[in-house]
C-alpha cells in the first residue's frame, strides 16, 4: 500500500507543479510584444513632431511618416487586443491540463506496473526472498498431487493396436512376477514409449527396490527423469530425493545436476539454478543431452538472477577435475607444476574477471592446495565465502575444498 501512496503522491505533486508553472504571471517588467511596439511607434510620432518644429524634415515628409507610423500603431493595437482576449480565454486551461496530466500520470503508472511489475508484493530483501524460496521448496506439491493435476495420458498416434496389446500382456506378466528385473526393465521402457510416464516411474522404483544397495546412479537418474516427465516437467520432492541420491553417488552426473537446477528455478532460486547450468555448459561436452535444454532456458535464468550473461564456449571452460588433481599427486614436482599450473592459471583468471559457479571456486582452492600454495588457497577460499555467503550448499562445497587444501579445519 505504501508503494501506491508514494506513486500517487508523486504524480499529484508533478501535476500541481506543471499547473503552477502554466498559471504563473509574466515576469516582472515583461509585457506583450504588441504593447512594446505601440510604445515605440508613439515615440516615433513624437520625434516626427519635434523634427518638424526644428525644421529637420519638410511638412510633406512629416505627413508621410505620420501616416505610416499611424498605420503601424493601429495594427499593433489590434494585435494587443487579440493577445489580451486570448489570455482571458486561457485562464481555465492550466487547471484542465493539470487534471489531464494527473489522470495520465497516475493511470499510466498503474497500467505500466500492472503489466511489468508484481502487484501485491513488497520490496523484499535478500534474506526474505531466500526464506520464501526455502518455504516454497519445503511446501511444494508432491508427485501424486502434480500428476493428478495433469490431463489424461494420450497414447502416441504411431502406437499401433498390436503394440499396445503386447504392452498390456507385459503388464500382466510383470504383475505375476513382481521381482523380475528384466520384465520390469522392459515394462519401464515400453510404458515410456506410450507416454505412460507414471507407470514407467513405478517400474523403475521397483527396480531400485529389488537391486537394493546394488542400484547405481543410472537407476536413480532414470527414475527421477520419469518422475519429472510424469509431473509435466515439475521436479517434485520425490524426484529431488532420487536426484540427491544420484549426486551422492556421482556429483558430476549431468542429468541429475540439470534437474537440480530446474528444481532450484521452480522454487525461487534462479541465482543457484543459473550457476548450476552455467557450469554444465562450461564443462560440456557439446553433445550431452542436457546442453540443449540448458541453452533454451539459461538466458531467461540469467535475467532472473540479475546476471549480464553471454553463452560461453560449451565444454571450453572446465577447470581441473578431481581426477586431474589426484593424478598430479603421483607426478614429479616439475610435471605436476606444468600440468596443474596451466589449468589453475586459466581458471583463476576467469574467476577473477567473469566469476563462475561454486564448483569452479572449489576446484581452484583444491588445486592451489595440491600445489602447496596454501596462502593463495586461503585467500581464494575467503573470497568465495563472501561471494556465496547466502548459499548453504555452496558453503559446504567450499568447506570441503578448504579442508582438502588444508586451509580450514
**pLDDT tens profile 74-115:** 887 777 777 666 555 555 556 676 677 767 777 777 777 777
Local confidence band at 118 (pLDDT 50, 70, 90 cut-offs): low
| Alpha carbons 232 and 151: distance in angstroms, whole number | 10
| Alpha carbons 245 and 240: distance in angstroms, whole number | 9
| Alpha carbons 329 and 367: distance in angstroms, whole number | 10
Please state whether the peptide bond connecting residue 285 to the residue before it is cis, i.e. omega within 30 degrees of 0. Answer: yes
**pLDDT tens profile 157-166:** 888 999 999 9
Q: Which CATH class is domain 322-404?
A: mainly alpha
Q: Is the pTM of this model over 0.85?
A: no
Q: Kindly give, in sequence order, each residue whose CB lies less than 8 Å from that of residue 122, ignoring residues fewer than 6 positions away.
A: 3
The backbone torsions φ and ψ at residue 91, rounded to the nearest 5 degrees and listed phi first, read: -60, -30
> Chain-centre distance of CA 126, in angstroms?
15
In this predicted structure, the answer to whether residue 319 has a pLDDT above a threshold of 60 is no
Determine the angle formed by the axes of helices 358-370 and 374-387, rounding to 10 degrees: 170
Closest CA to 340 of 312, 320, 358, 326: 320
| Alpha carbons 347 and 110: distance in angstroms, whole number | 47
**pLDDT tens profile 146-157:** 999 999 989 898
Top pLDDT among 401 and 297 is at 297
Q: Are 409 and 403 in contact (CB under 8 A)?
A: yes
Average of per-residue pLDDT across 265-290:
90
108 φ/ψ sector (left φ>0, alpha ψ -120 to 50, else beta): alpha
Determine the angle formed by the axes of helices 197-211 and 217-230, rounding to 10 degrees: 160
> Mean pLDDT in the chain?
82
In this predicted structure, the answer to whether residue 10 has a pLDDT above a threshold of 90 is no
Determine the angle formed by the axes of helices 33-54 and 59-89, rounding to 10 degrees: 160
In this predicted structure, the answer to whether residue 4 has a pLDDT above a threshold of 70 is no
Report which DSSP code applies to 140: P
pLDDT at residue 81, as a whole number: 76
Average of per-residue pLDDT across 347-351:
73
Angle at 364 between CA 358 and CA 367, to 5 degrees: 140
| Alpha carbons 139 and 364: distance in angstroms, whole number | 36
Angle at 22 between CA 88 and CA 12, to 5 degrees: 125
Amino acid at each position: 500500500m505504501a508503494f501506491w501512496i508514494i506513486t500517487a503522491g508523486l504524480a499529484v505533486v508533478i501535476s500541481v507543479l506543471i499547473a503552477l508553472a502554466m498559471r504563473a504571471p509574466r515576469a516582472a517588467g515583461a509585457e506583450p510584444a504588441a504593447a512594446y511596439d505601440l510604445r515605440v511607434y508613439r515615440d516615433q510620432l513624437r520625434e516626427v513632431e519635434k523634427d518638424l518644429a526644428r525644421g529637420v524634415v519638410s511638412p510633406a515628409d512629416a505627413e508621410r511618416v505620420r501616416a505610416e507610423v499611424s498605420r503601424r500603431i493601429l495594427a499593433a493595437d489590434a494585435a494587443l487586443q487579440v493577445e489580451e482576449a486570448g489570455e482571458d480565454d486561457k485562464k481555465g486551461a492550466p487547471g484542465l491540463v493539470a487534471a489531464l496530466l494527473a489522470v495520465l500520470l497516475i493511470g499510466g503508472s498503474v497500467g505500466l506496473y500492472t503489466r511489468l511489475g508484481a502487484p501485491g508484493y513488497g520490496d523484499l530483501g535478500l534474506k526474505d526472498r531466500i526464506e520464501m524460496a526455502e518455504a516454497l521448496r519445503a511446501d511444494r506439491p508432491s508427485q501424486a498431487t502434480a500428476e493428478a493435476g495433469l490431463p489424461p495420458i494420450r497414447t502416441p498416434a504411431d502406437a499401433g493396436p498390436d503394440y499396445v496389446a503386447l504392452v498390456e500382456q507385459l503388464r500382466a506378466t510383470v504383475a505375476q512376477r513382481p521381482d523380475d528385473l528384466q520384465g520390469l526393465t522392459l515394462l519401464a521402457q515400453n510404458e515410456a514409449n506410450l507416454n505412460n510416464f507414471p507407470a514407467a516411474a513405478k517400474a523403475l522404483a521397483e527396480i531400485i527396490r529389488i537391486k537394493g544397495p546394488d542400484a547405481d546412479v543410472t537407476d536413480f537418474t532414470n527414475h527421477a527423469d520419469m518422475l519429472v516427465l510424469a509431473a509435466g516437467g515439475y521436479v517434485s520432492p520425490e524426484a529431488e530425493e532420487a536426484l540427491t541420491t544420484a549426486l551422492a553417488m556421482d556429483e558430476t552426473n549431468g542429468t541429475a545436476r540439470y534437474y537440480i537446477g530446474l528444481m532450484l528455478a521452480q522454487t525461487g532460486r534462479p541465482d543457484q539454478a543459473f550457476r548450476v547450468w552455467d557450469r554444465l555448459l562450461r564443462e560440456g561436452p557439446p553433445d550431452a543431452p542436457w546442453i540443449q535444454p540448458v541453452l533454451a532456458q539459461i538466458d531467461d535464468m540469467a535475467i532472473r538472477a540479475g546476471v549480464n550473461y553471454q553463452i560461453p564456449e560449451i565444454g571450453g571452460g572446465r577447470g581441473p577435475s578431481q581426477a586431474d588433481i589426484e593424478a598430479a599427486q603421483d607426478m614429479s614436482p616439475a610435471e605436476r607444476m606444468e600440468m596443474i599450473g596451466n589449468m589453475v592459471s586459466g581458471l583463476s583468471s576467469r574467476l577473477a574477471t567473469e566469476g563462475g559457479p561454486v564448483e569452479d571456486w572449489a576446484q581452484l582452492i583444491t588445486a592451489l592446495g595440491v600445489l602447496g600454495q596454501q596462502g593463495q588457497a586461503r585467500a581464494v577460499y575467503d573470497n568465495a565465502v563472501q561471494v556465496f555467503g547466502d548459499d548453504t550448499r555452496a558453503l559446504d562445497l567450499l568447506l570441503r575444498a578448504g579442508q582438502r587444501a588444508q586451509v580450514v579445519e
